[in-house]
Structure 1
Amino acid sequence: MEQRGSYRPSPPPAWTPRTDPAPLLPEARPYRVLGTEAAAKADPALLLELYEQLVRGRRYNAQATALTKQGRLAVYPSSTGQEACEVAAALALEERDWLFPSYRDTLAAVARGLDPVQALTLLRGDWHTGYDPHEHRVAPLSTPLATQLPHAVGLAHAARLKGDDVVALAMVGDGGTSEGDFHEALNFAAVWKAPVVFLVQNNGFAISVPLAKQTAAPSLAHKAVGYGMPGRLVDGNDAAAVHEVLAEAVQRARAGGGPTLVEAVTYRIEAHTNADDATRYRGDTEVEAWRAHDPITLLEGELTDRGLLDDARRQGARDAAEALAADLRERMNQDPVLDPMDLFTHVYAEQTTQLREQAEQLRAELEAEAER
């Protein structure tokens, strides 16, 4: 063993970055398709599908908001103004892929094919989730901020280990990027090269906290570089652009290229939830400026200019949206039949001793109440 003071470190080898940062950097400005030369290359069928889904989604948001005022929903976090992100996320995935939504992303789940009533069951307070995640490949709506992100990474990594051709797309708000789960998810995903896409819907506020009070980074997309994955910055109200960027990220993940962080710059037109008073932290002028950049208006203008959208097609989209709202309204106004014993059904695959004891206690209380 060398004596104290005899150790002389040799000069370190020349330092080089583990990953070239240049290809990982996001766009200088949010990427756009609508209103640019790139729009002419967009698939007309895709644009029309996006448009119809946007119109449907706007009406869905309005109806769900009305249901909270009628006492049929305990809470509803509206995605009005953010429909382009919601719809594009659903359409960018294959049937075998998984969607990991946050509590604001019920529209994305509906656009993926989930029954609107089932999508709202959690927010009504009737059920833990309200649907079978495996059947629809839609993870449970995540009310805690960003906890769905590590889950998405775990599923994607497990799928790759098993040889399954599956990609996970995880949605989160700008507020969720301030959580530790965001860091853990992105770090693990990059190290493992997991086939996962992170979509950050930067709608300007984490409830009442503006983005400038959450981070000093040039953009949220720039955070990707620190984890060793590409960052993309896209106009979140441009449905065609969001779909293109997400579809490319999904394809890259499926081909073994690893994760991508996508920041979609959008705006929450309505309050955080029906329990929030947004006028306390933002003004009408700001909201109206974003209304002028409405995702439906942007896409409708492009389709009209290209002669792809006539009055009949426009009315057809509105009629389909009204039919969805009417069905949702009718079924949500029916009182559900609930079994209190269902509380124990989906906690563990095999019930613990404590759960069995609690279930028996509740069953005895219910039987005694029925006898009385």
Structure 2
Amino acid sequence: MRVKVVCVGGGPAGLYLAILLKRQDPSHDITVHERNPEGSTYGWGVTYWRALMDRLHTYDPESARAVEEGSVRWHQGVAYVRDQVTRQPGDPGHGIGRHRLLAILADRARSLGVRLEFESEITPDDLPEADLVVAADGIHSALRARHAADLGAEVSEGRNHYVWLGTTKVFDSFTFAFAETGHGWVWCYGYPYDDGHSTCVIECAPATLTGLGLDTLPEADQLALLEKLFADILDGSPLIGGSSATAWPTFRTLTNRTWHHGNLVLLGDAAHTTHYSIGAGTTLALEDAMCLADTLREHGAVPQALAAYERQRRAELVSAQSAARLSAQWYENLPRYIDLPAHRMFALLGQRHSPLLPYVPPQLYYGIDKAAGRLEVLRRLKRWLGPRAARALHTRP
């Protein structure tokens, strides 16, 4: 069935949906409207894991190859706490510059016949006629706001403040750094996204923000203070700010009672947000696009497709939303963990998605987790030895 689709928002979710729909049926009439000029975007780099790359190769191998070639990789995490450094191996991670990702997706969409309209702001009062209108315009979605009551949109504010920065220091691992000040702790999440840059997300509690004056300092002074606090990991490289450097917002978690209204459907951050500390925002947005494209192909009518999309994605998001909530709470309660030996603190940082961790003394939890790990190793060894022992007994003369 040929459909006319208007996508409002030219981020990863909107562009990838357009690509997938055009691949399914080149006769689809698809236009992506982006209010900003082409090549201008917020943010530095985004991160994702191998499972997403495997899915990208399944859905559109051509764009997947370009994304993979434009990404950098790491295989471990490192934590800096006071004068202690600890490293742990982990699942391979990937980083790519947001500008690079959007350029790849825009080029691919154009090659398939998608119309891309930049500097084209669509408001609820001037929506073009279409079979389907996709709100992929982020947490501040004007289209969602127009129907907020029908969609049941709710936003909750986190406690801590954060800022998204870049640096010319290229980290070799996903890097956590915790800096102690006279007003509390400030911490950084850092990861590379190309051969010359890394992303630095810096976070702190409200009392620390105001105590250090980060809420009132000019941007240059903010960056100078933060460079001093994180000198051990920056190695003399500068932090790079932008229009958000003086904002220090709290994270806003968005939920909606329903994700569609009439022929309007929400995608990505317009539908849901998850705390940045689990590094899943772009992945979840792209997975939304995959799911919506699938349901539009599988169902003959748009209303049935949108209902199926919402049911499936709601179920799939439960785990990520729980992990994001618990991760944010772990950092909000950092003093509970920060005085542990660095390797133990780092181990519990990796366990921050556990719903039990907030209710078990950290040292006890660490011991239980280590014991459970040893038991699991023994179980695996027993499973491995079992058939071999049986064969040995069977073949014994």
TM-score (norm 1): 0.25
Higher share in helix: 1
TM-score (norm 2): 0.23
Higher share in strand: 2
Taking CA–CA contacts closer than 8 Å with sequence separation of 6 or more, which of the two structures ends up with the larger relative contact order? 1
